[in-house]
Amino acid sequence: MKFVKMIFGVASAFLIGCCSVSCAEQKHTPISGTFISFTYGLHQNWDQARWSKEFEAMEKLKFDTLIVQAVAKRDPNSGKVISYYRSKAFKIDRLYVDWILSEAEKRGWKVYLGGFSDATGEDANKAKFVELNKRIANELYSAYKSCKSFAGFYISTEPLLNEADNAGDDVIYKVYVKYLKKKYPLKKVIVSPYFITDASARCKKQGMKQWWHNRSPDEMAQQVCAFLKKCPVDIIALQDSTCWDVTMADLRTYLPKIAESVRLAGKEFWVDMEVFDTRGHTLYEPASINRIMEQIEIEKEYKCVMYCFNWCMDPNGSEETKTLYNQYYDAYFK
């Protein structure tokens, strides 16, 4: 996964407005799930008891959807593939997938499982990388096909929405997704495109020719349509990219057009609501509750999944993530 994105804030008018709505409306939140990461960060070396506690925390926020970014990665020491699921082909680190599916089954949640960790996207056209993901997907299905909570597959490599038409030619989308849909037609496939702006040092470093602000909302919608003609995913979960200088005004302008194009193509449209912020595009930290509330007001008509609970809003994490969890809970559930 390209770990280069994360989240938002409303003003006092929205807070005042909340006071006049009914109790039921006050408790509603459009964030219905989250991404989590096995391959680095908070969840390293967790046991089953800690996962149970994690689900209890997420359940209090009324989540029903979980997207696992990746279930396998390369060991930096040995260079070999290590897995977090019931694998016969690779060394198993811990059976995180078993544990989270068990917790999800108890609650009736849907879980989407990513494949091999791809932090840069540079492997998207490599045959070996695609074959590795096929092998992982086949093992996942074989091990967990009886689990009702196993709803489908997540593509861990994220396409750039600025040039989604060209991204649709990458093997990971054009070949691998078709493979999944043909072999496992009852399992849904999710992909998460992202915006990036000319303010991004990383974008400039890559020498990109198109900044997304150079495209009108209609042109961005056309890019998504072109991508979907090549990549037959079931769900587009668009990262709102607010940690990369996408503004609230941008979201109000672009999201409706992109959502419309996805739905007209017969696909589901979700928003990955980034709940983190960046300083200098290098340091990631939880976003302010005000910004997140403004994102919620803009994106509430869509199915929203948090990007990303264990990085930004986890009460089992740092003091900062614990604080944001409590602020969010108090704003919508207290």
Pairwise CA distance, residues 217 & 219, whole Å: 5
Flag whether pLDDT at 182 surpasses 50. Answer: yes
User: Which of 31-35, 94-98, 160-164, 270-274 has the lowest average pLDDT?
Assistant: 160-164
Which pLDDT band holds residue 313 (cuts at 50, 70, 90)?
very high
User: Long-range contacts: 80-87, Cβ < 8 Å, 24+?
Assistant: 81/116, 81/132, 83/136, 84/38, 84/39, 85/113, 85/139, 85/140, 85/143, 85/144, 86/139, 86/143, 86/144, 87/136, 87/139, 87/143
Kindly report whether the peptide bond that precedes residue 231 is cis, defined as omega within 30 degrees of 0. Answer: no
Flag whether pLDDT at 132 surpasses 90. Answer: yes
Pairwise CA distance, residues 13 & 327, whole Å: 18
For the chain, list the domains and their CATH numbers: 12-332 (3.20.20.80)
Pairwise CA distance, residues 184 & 151, whole Å: 11
> In a 3-state reduction of DSSP, which class is residue 68?
strand
> Which residue type is seen at 157?
T
Flag whether pLDDT at 245 surpasses 90. Answer: no
- What average pLDDT does the chain have? 85
The pLDDT tens digits of the residues spanning 270-296 come to 999 999 987 655 667 899 999 999 999
Q: CA-based Rg of the chain, rounded to a whole angstrom? A: 19
Flag whether pLDDT at 23 surpasses 80. Answer: no
Two structure tokens written together for 290: 């005000």
Pairwise CA distance, residues 74 & 118, whole Å: 10
- Helix 12-20 with 289-299: angle, nearest 10 deg: 60
113 DSSP β-pair partners: 68, 153
Residue holding tokens 């609230």? 248
**pLDDT recorded at residue 59:** 96
Q: CA 315 → CA 53, 60, 327, 328, 331, distances in Å?
A: 10, 11, 11, 11, 16
Flag whether pLDDT at 28 surpasses 60. Answer: no
Pairwise CA distance, residues 299 & 152, whole Å: 24
**pLDDT recorded at residue 123:** 84
Which pLDDT band holds residue 3 (cuts at 50, 70, 90)?
very low
Listed in order, strand segments (DSSP E) in the chain are 31-36, 65-68, 72-74, 81-83, 91-92, 110-114, 150-154, 188-191, 235-239, 268-274, 276-279, 283-286, 303-307
The pTM (predicted TM-score) of the whole model is: 0.88
Residues 319-324, mean pLDDT to the nearest whole number: 96
Two structure tokens written together for 153: 């597959």
